[in-house]
Amino acid sequence: MSRTVLFFMHTGSTHGGVETWLDRSCQYLAGRGWRPIVALVRGAANNDPNRYRSHHPNLATVEVDGRGMDREGRVRAIVRCVRRVNPAIAIPMGVLDANEGIARYKAKNQNVRLVGHAQGNLPPMLADLAGLRDVVDAVVCPGNLTRRFLVGPAGFDPTRVRHIPNGADGPTVPRVTGPPGGPLRLVYVGRMSEGDKRVSDLPRLCRTLGDRGIDYRLTVVGDGPARDAVAAGMAPFAERAEMLGALPVRKVYEEIYPRADVLLLFSASEAFGIVLAEAMRNGVVPVTSRYVGFQSEGLVVEGTHGLSFPVGDTAAAADRVAALAADRALLARLSAAGTRHADEHYSWERCLSAWEQALGTLAEAPSRAVSAETLRRTFADRPALSGRLDRLGVPRAVTDIIRRARRTTLRAAVPPGGEEWPLFRGGPADRRAWVQQELERLESGAAAAGVARRPNGAPLKSKLI
């Protein structure tokens, strides 16, 4: 049985929950006789494998160069990478075109298994994932709501879907207690993006806390496309807030969590939320949005492990912060309960041993057959070819060679329709709306049934085949 696992990874961001999970997974698998390899995608502007490797030097990596390529060119690059590495299992991590490339390779070489890793509950992401039902061998979901959506409305075979919550490390240094009556120490740790993380809520919260006379200090750790906009918004609060950019996980554990009282999270959607588990294991109390998936996961139970507020309601978020600033006994109770909860349910050993078991079962099973007709149906949303070479009737294989050669001698131009390694497409608006509607229905049902009062740390009993 081959034990090579090939991950395809975006390189536009160097730090975050997915990046942490990938580091830990590769280290764990390598120590147990697996051969994990990470294919880092390269783009003309946003995706830089060299920068990614500088922050994650212990990964075994290869590159997939998508500079100057349209969708077809990127898919062909994925196929070449899979052929070269010849893995037993291939797992795209936010590299949408990798799904088509792996499926295309599967159709001709039945020796690779395509595993979906559901990284979020954003409707475009889940709309794309739902469309892969007939080509994936299995899907592993960090979030329980994702699993419920796939085996319910999306119609996936339940035996091909598993819920494995992410993990977190415990503290590496002792906590540093703030002075009695001192400011409440707030921290934001995560990717600086707007659509899913809603980081523009940070300056709005600071303004509201200042207007209410709340004594606080805020440390912001992270990087991403919205960093400059957030920095501009935070400028009026420089005496109380600092932005440190991206930091290695080690430094966050040694310098940030031990000196924090409260972790802030504003997300509209989370598949799991590693940062919440990290915070609780380190005694930091979450004040989090009730993002899509909050109730179904039960990672943070309102009033037991932390406090929550409606997505986008920074006034309500300020209420929760003010309550903790005024009642340090409540802060201490939530901190202790959150630590016990996270220690019991969200260790890395628990998470990664479940992943290894799932991958081992999958590697021993036959690869799922993919026919030419299934390929055509699954990826029927392909855009019409419109580049000059295409209009001239140049065969795609030749066009691909020309574009690859051109980028080595000239600056790589972006061809028509040649966006750089998209995270998702999402399909028609009505399909995205349907996903959103189903997620809200499932989440409302979870809230009504009290799902969030039952810890979801244990993997479900469904098995991968």
For 354-412, the pLDDT digits (tens) are 999 999 999 999 999 999 999 999 998 766 555 666 665 667 677 767 666 666 554 55
Using DSSP, state whether 177 is helix, strand or coil: coil
pLDDT digits (tens, 9 = 90+) for 16-34: 788 989 999 999 999 999 9
Which sign, positive or negative, has the C-alpha torsion 346, 252, 140, 295?
positive
Q: In the CATH scheme, what architecture does the domain 184-345 have?
A: 3-Layer(aba) Sandwich (3.40)
In total, the chain counts a number of residues equal to: 465
All residues at 6 or more sequence positions from 442 whose CB lies less than 8 Å from its CB, including other chains: 145, 148, 149, 152, 153, 296
- Is 4-167+349-380+423-453 assigned to CATH 3.40.50.2000? yes
Per-residue pLDDT at 407: 66
Question: Which pLDDT value is given to residue 405?
Answer: 67
Query: Distance (Å, rounded) from C-alpha 51 to C-alpha 58?
Result: 13
Intervals of the chain under pLDDT 70:
1, 382-394, 396, 400, 402-419, 446-465
Q: What is the pTM of this model?
A: 0.81
Per-residue pLDDT, 45: 82
Query: DSSP label at 366?
Result: P
Count Cβ atoms below 10 Å from residue 430 Cβ, excluding itself.
Answer: 7
What pLDDT, on the 0 to 100 scale, is given for residue 17?
Answer: 80
- Per-residue pLDDT tens digits for 252-279: 999 999 999 999 999 988 878 899 999 9
- Give domain limits for the chain: 4-167+349-380+423-453, 184-345
Domains 4-167+349-380+423-453 and 184-345 share a fold: yes
pLDDT of residue 400: 66
Rg (CA), the chain: 23
pLDDT score of 406: 64
Strand arrangement, sheet containing 184-189: 241-245, 216-221, 184-189, 262-265, 285-289, 307-309
